[in-house]
Amino acid sequence: MRDADPRRRVPRTDALLADPGLADAVGTLGRERVKAAIVRAQQRARRGEITPEEVRAAALAELPAPAPRAVLNATGVVLHTNLGRAPLSAAAVDALVAAAGHTDVELDLRTGRRARRGREALDALAAAVPDAAGVHVVNNGAAALVLAATALAADREIVVSRGELVEIGDGFRLPDLLQSTGARLREVGTTNRTTRADYAAAIGPRTGFVLKVHPSNFRVSGFTSAVPVRELATLGVPVVADIGSGLLAPDPLLPDEPDAASTLRAGAHLVTASGDKLLGGPQAGLLLGAAELVERLRRHPLARALRVDKLTLAALAATLHGPVTPTRRALHADPAALRARTERLRDRLGADGVKVEVVPSVAVVGGGGAPGVELDSWALSLPERYAEPLRTGEPPVLGRVLHGRLLLDLRCVPADADEAVRAAVLRVGG
């Protein structure tokens, strides 16, 4: 009979578009994209490939997940480069959302006239590092160094130790980056030993500046020597120090990690750093130092091409104003509190029938910072087979595979996400 034809039960397009799950997708992906997925699922049902009752699920399954996807970082790596390094604080997220519309980014609302772009973020950065007479922000740490090299040493020389000519990631190397600006590198010393005399012998009328680079993601030990900024500052030429990590003031947890305030007090004329590392903010390149030098960089034509947008400025200002960032909270998490939290989650999973252990874990800073620092931590230990389904689930939960076990270290997982971790584990092995 005609009424028995299953194709008559295929849900209508308008009904599916009104379905809560698909309606939410319209809000993020657009009506036409969702409608096209629905039509394809309806056609599959009419061909008998799926039942009419499966059309909704088939349409949803065809729609792409939001990109990039939010993940839960249970790796124990605080600044995981592949996961976007520093997660923003709630205050920074709120500021970013507020800045998505029209803002006063370059307008003084009191006078109605044009104002200094990003003044709130710049004022907050200056307040955070009083030793910097001038501050500026560009779009990432590499851009900060490129701007300095272009403005101060194009067609001139940059004096740098051979032991500090590092690879900064993804195949990009510092020598290539600097030489792309038109500067010439004057390498001094050796891989493991460089002295003040090496720098002094290389300085001449063509010197643009001396560059001091923090190695960040590696250590050279044994028969070594390096020249501190305070000695380089006596050579009579500008000293640019790339501290990399974005640490603005000393942190007792990271005694060997240079910070902007101490580096400036030691005599550096300019400090460059990243905003999305230990500062715990958005991706940005920070420039701090002598007022005349920073102003020279700010007025260089290349500065326009490296300018940050209003979203970055808003998030950076909120990060600098406080509260404590997720990065700092994770770095300074109390191991005893982490153990108690991990044991509570283990007990709940055990009550659900999942066999899981609590084991000691070693967390690290990551993001090219403090390579020798190990953070005592604790983790859930599960069979390795959990790794892929947790990584590809919703939400994705990323742990660390070690000796045939999957370790889920909660140090970087927000405490209010423990239930999401539990639910994800149960979906795999419950």
Average pLDDT, the chain: 92
Q: What angle do CA 290, 225, 286 make, to 5 degrees?
A: 30
Where are the extended beta strands (E) located within 167-226? 167-169, 172-173, 184-188, 207-213
Query: Phi-psi category of 222—alpha, beta or left, where left has phi over 0 and alpha has psi -120 to 50?
Result: left
Does position 7 have pLDDT exceeding 80, yes or no? no
Domains of the chain: 2-62 (no CATH), 72-84+328-429 (3.90.1150.180), 90-323 (3.40.640.10)
The radius of gyration of the chain's CA atoms, rounded to the nearest angstrom, is 27
Q: What is the pLDDT of residues 56-86, one digit of tens each?
A: 999 998 888 777 889 999 999 999 999 999 9
Task: Kindly give the interhelix angle for 31-46 and 20-29, rounded to the nearest 10 degrees.
Answer: 130
- What's the pLDDT at 115? 93
Report the Cα 43 to chain-centroid distance in Å.
Answer: 43
Strands 72-73 and 397-398: parallel
Mind listing the pLDDT tens digit for each residue in 341-374?
999 999 999 998 899 999 999 999 988 777 778 9
Contact at 8 Å (CB) between 346 and 420?
no
Q: Which of 181, 263, 270 is nearest to 228 (CA)?
A: 263
* CA 46 – CA 7 distance, rounded (Å): 5
pLDDT confidence bin for 1, thresholds 50/70/90? very low
Contact by Cβ (8 Å): 164, 212: yes
- Proportion of the chain in helix, strand, coil states, percent, rounded to 5: 45, 20, 35
The helix or strand, by DSSP H or E, that contains position 98, with its residue range, turns out to be helix 90-98
How far, in Å, are 9, 39, 55, 302, 345 from residue 16 at the CA level?
A: 13, 10, 9, 51, 39
What does residue 123 show for φ and ψ, rounded to 5 degrees? Answer: -65, -40
Please indicate, yes or no, whether the overall pTM of this predicted structure exceeds 0.85: yes
CA angle 277, 278, 284 (to 5 degrees): 40
Read off the pLDDT of residues 324-337 as tens digits, 9 standing for 90 and up. 999 999 999 999 99
β partners of residue 340: none
> Can you tell me the mean pLDDT for 210-223?
80
Q: Specify the amino acid at residue 10.
A: V
Is-contact 178 185, C-beta < 8 A?
Answer: yes
Cβ atoms of 183 and 175 closer than 8 Å: no
**Residues whose CB falls within 8 Å of the CB of residue 194, separated by 6 or more in sequence, listed in order:** 161, 162, 163, 188, 225, 226, 227
Over the stretch 127-157, which tens digit does the pLDDT of each residue have? 999 999 999 999 999 999 999 999 999 999 9
How many Å apart are CA 314 and CA 246, to the nearest integer? Answer: 18
pLDDT of residue 119: 94
Are the C-beta atoms of residues 218 and 371 closer than 8 Å to each other?
A: yes
Helix residue ranges per DSSP H, 155-289? 174-179, 196-202, 229-232, 260-265
Cα distance between residue 21 and residue 62, in whole Å = 13
Q: Residue 33 half-sphere exposure, CB side, CA atoms within 13 Å?
A: 13
| DSSP run (H or E) holding 156 | none
What is the pLDDT confidence band of residue 217, given thresholds at 50, 70 and 90? Answer: low
Angle between helices 90-98 and 310-321 (to 10 degrees): 150
Q: What is the mean pLDDT of residues 238-242?
A: 97
3-state SS of 266-288 is: CCCCEEEEECCCCCCCCCCEEEE
| Structure tokens that stand for 60 in this block | 């949803």
| Peptide linkage before 68 cis (omega within 30 of 0) | yes
